[in-house]
Amino acid sequence: MFTKILIANRGEIACRVIKTARKMGIATVAVYSDADREAVHVEMADEAVHIGPAAASQSYLVAEKIIAAAKATGAQAVHPGYGFLSERASFCEALEAEGIIFIGPKPKAIRAMGDKIESKKFANAAKVSTVPGWLGVIENAEHAVKIAGEIGYPVMLKASAGGGGKGMRIAWNEAEAREGFQSSRNEAQSSFGDDRIFIEKFIVDPRHIEIQVLGDAHGNCLYLGERECSIQRRNQKVVEEAPSPFLDEATRRAMGEQSVALAKAVDYQSAGTVEFIVDKDRNFYFLEMNTRLQVEHPVTELVTGIDLVEQMIRVAYGEKLALEQSDIKLNGWAVESRLYAEDPYRNFLPSIGRLTRYRPPEEGRFGDIVVRNDTGVVEGSEISMFYDPMLAKLCTWAPTRAEAIDAMAEALDSFVVDGIQHNIPFLSALMQHPRWREARLSTGFIAEEFPDGFAPIVPDEADRNTLAAIALAVELLRRDRLDRMSDRLAPHSGALKRDWEVRIGDDYVPVSILEGMISIPLEADVSVAGGAPLTIVSDWRPGEAVWRGTVGGRPIAAQIRQAVNGIRIAWKGMAVTARPMLPRIAELERLMPVKVPPDTSKLLLCPMPGLVVSIAVIDGQEVKAGETLAVVEAMKMENVLRAERDLTVVKINAKPGDSLAVDAVIMEFG
């Protein structure tokens, strides 16, 4: 077996590969850019080599620097992870020329399947069912509009060398095809150095289901079941699961056998993924083959018990697969949530900064539940604008789908992240969504269920009462702790007050303490809103970010943050500020005037930290609702800012090339 390998990647996937290499007794070499000097993968590896500036185009995407690092450290093989150079045949060939083994497929397979246009042609020739589309060169936006009209709207514009949702647009009409072509082309060029675009028919209400394949150099190839990846936002997967709740055994076998046939046709030697779109009648169409490890590979590992990274390394070394198709059994259910540094309350725009707190839930097996967290950051890590905003991949496994979802909901409620905005509130809300729980999925799920963007779930009466009980329990322990501090000037005197009110939103919820001692662990009986007695039990201590306990026998894990005169509680997609107070204070507070937020309707604010790509208007110009005002790029994604109503531009405060902070004023309107 190899004695030393280099990982040509960063972040959580580099850490993931290092873990398996360590388990196999293989030494590892990390590479890092200026921005990643203090990164976790650099610390985890046995050796680390600096390869250039922060921009990926000057570091992680420069094959010569990776090869030089491998030669300098004596690495016998290179694992590319995903993204960056993982699907570049020329990189594989350059490694082979230096006698270094590429832990992945051979150049022939990468060329045949790694390019979306060529893979479609190859699949058509191999009689694989594909979506109607145009695979030739598209010269310009007008040509794109002509082709789209011939195929029939809606159509999907895609970067040939694309991945991760970059360089993809859905067009429902000529205007969107024209504009989408240029944006896709720009993103493709900046992300992949390849601006070729192709167009295919967009299938309405499709599911995105992919088959994991594994082949060796001895002609053996098998499939390891499927993953359902239909929960997507802007064509980027957000939640995945294995197996798919939609497939029957016959469809699973047909998709698996077709995937294996395709892989064998290109002599595929590694782990790879064949992606399909599946319509409501379980008709499936080849989408593309990813000739690398997938981001969502952990859910397959959890239901099959097979370490895919280990298999990739063994195949690259020349070993024969020790598995046969009959050995592959799908056991239980696994769900993966991708944690992103993005603000769900601002249409999921990227967020950057330092992780002031980062406390993932405990990993391991807990009865029938398994919790796994693949991550590449720690508390104190800097989330930069140069790379993908993914923080971690949180996975849960359980015997059934419902149990796996419930385990994920609890794990998300226990995952503490501060210092940046993140999508945990959205993921928590998603785990409670009835359509998700019922598995009525499509790739349009998020757009359909959250058409106006994401807002926290509004608690119903029962949940509101539970939140009020938690808030009072926290406040009583906080006050008790203050009273026990030495040299405090004025601790309260007299008996504990029994009657309280907890303000949540505009509601004042009465809570009465019936019986119990205010101490740690806390156990008290309360009545909320005049209801039947509830017993609160918890060993929470002031300062802990996660409140764990039971309310009326219901197990709860909720996140606690201090707020002005109250407590911020996040639980199952709900986020409320609760303010416990005595009834007399509540009576007076009802008389306080309401503070109205400032009017920003006449300003175009930068929605996230980013780079101004273009300004589409001039001073004094009148624009109509929906017209483009500016384009801002963040984390390699172009964001088009449009007019929300008819208006007149009075003043432009930014120009192309400017780097702006969030909420910077781009332009003013009359």
- What CATH number is given to the structural domain containing 572? 3.30.700.30
Listed residues 589, 620, 636: the one ending a domain: 589
Q: How many domains does the chain have?
A: 6
| Distance between CA atoms of residues 652 and 631, nearest Å | 14
Residue 268 has pLDDT above 90, yes or no: yes
Which residue of the set 241, 288, 301, 475 is catalytic?
A: 288
Q: Are residues 195 and 302 in the same domain?
A: no
Neighbours of 269 (CB within 10 A): 24
Which domain does 251 fall in, by range? Answer: 207-331
- 347 — pLDDT class (breaks 50, 70, 90): confident
* DSSP reduced 3-state for 224: strand
pLDDT in tens, 225-267: 999 999 998 888 999 999 999 999 999 999 999 999 999 989 9
Q: Are residues 585 and 612 in the same domain?
A: no
Q: Which comes out higher in pLDDT, residue 132 or 294?
A: 294
Asked, for residue 114, whether it belongs to a domain, the answer is no
pLDDT in tens, 433-484: 999 999 999 999 999 999 988 988 999 999 999 999 999 999 999 888 877 7
Residue 190 has pLDDT above 90, yes or no: no
Listed residues 291, 311, 331: the one ending a domain: 331
- 574 — pLDDT class (breaks 50, 70, 90): very high
Catalytic residue check, 288: yes
pLDDT (0 to 100) of residue 65: 97
pLDDT in tens, 575-632: 999 999 999 999 999 999 988 888 888 999 998 888 999 999 999 999 988 899 999 9
pLDDT (0 to 100) of residue 609: 87
Residue 14 has pLDDT above 70, yes or no: yes
CA-based nearest residue to 283, from 315, 250, 261, 236: 250
Q: Are residues 287 and 186 in the same domain?
A: no
Residue 355 has pLDDT above 90, yes or no: yes
Q: Are residues 376 and 391 in the same domain?
A: yes
pLDDT (0 to 100) of residue 46: 98
Residue 636 has pLDDT above 80, yes or no: no
Residue 90 has pLDDT above 80, yes or no: yes
Residue 118 has pLDDT above 80, yes or no: no
Asked, for residue 68, whether it belongs to a domain, the answer is yes
- The mean per-residue pLDDT over the stretch 166-192 comes to 89
Listed residues 201, 230, 257: the one ending a domain: 201
pLDDT (0 to 100) of residue 490: 66
| Distance between CA atoms of residues 334 and 273, nearest Å | 18
pLDDT (0 to 100) of residue 203: 84
Q: Are residues 97 and 139 in the same domain?
A: no
Q: Are residues 223 and 263 in the same domain?
A: yes
User: Are the beta carbons of 144 and 181 closer than 8 angstroms?
Assistant: yes
Q: Are residues 368 and 402 in the same domain?
A: yes
DSSP state at residue 130: B
Asked, for residue 108, whether it belongs to a domain, the answer is no
CA-based nearest residue to 631, from 658, 606, 608, 613: 613
Asked, for residue 127, whether it belongs to a domain, the answer is no
Asked, for residue 124, whether it belongs to a domain, the answer is no
Residue 517 has pLDDT above 80, yes or no: no
What is the per-residue DSSP string for 436-462? Answer: HHTT---TTHHHHH-TT---PPPP-HH
Q: Are residues 372 and 436 in the same domain?
A: yes
- The mean per-residue pLDDT over the stretch 306-326 comes to 97
| Distance between CA atoms of residues 622 and 617, nearest Å | 9
- What CATH number is given to the structural domain containing 146? 3.30.1490.20
User: Are the beta carbons of 44 and 30 closer than 8 angstroms?
Assistant: yes
Asked, for residue 87, whether it belongs to a domain, the answer is yes
- What CATH number is given to the structural domain containing 377? 3.30.470.20
pLDDT in tens, 20-38: 999 999 999 999 999 999 9
| Distance between CA atoms of residues 220 and 320, nearest Å | 8
Q: Are residues 389 and 445 in the same domain?
A: yes
Residue 187 has pLDDT above 80, yes or no: yes
Q: Are residues 466 and 581 in the same domain?
A: yes
Asked, for residue 116, whether it belongs to a domain, the answer is no
pLDDT (0 to 100) of residue 625: 86
Q: What percent of the chain has pLDDT over 70?
A: 99
* DSSP reduced 3-state for 272: strand
Rounded (5°) CA angle 233-239-245:
115
- What CATH number is given to the structural domain containing 69? 3.40.50.20
Asked, for residue 150, whether it belongs to a domain, the answer is yes
Q: Which comes out higher in pLDDT, residue 127 or 225?
A: 225
Q: Which comes out higher in pLDDT, residue 117 or 153?
A: 153
Q: Is the pTM of the predicted complex or chain greater than 0.85? A: no
Residue 165 has pLDDT above 80, yes or no: no
pLDDT (0 to 100) of residue 188: 87
Residue 164 has pLDDT above 70, yes or no: no
Q: What percent of the chain has pLDDT over 90?
A: 74
Q: Are residues 311 and 359 in the same domain?
A: no
In our burial notation (b when 16+ CB lie closer than 10 A, e otherwise), range 160-186 reads bbbbbebbbbbbeebebbbebbbbbbb
Instruction: Name which of 109-113, 313-317, 535-539 the model is least confident about.
Output: 109-113
Q: Are residues 584 and 635 in the same domain?
A: no
The whole-chain average pLDDT of the chain stands at: 92
Beta bridge partners of 27: 4
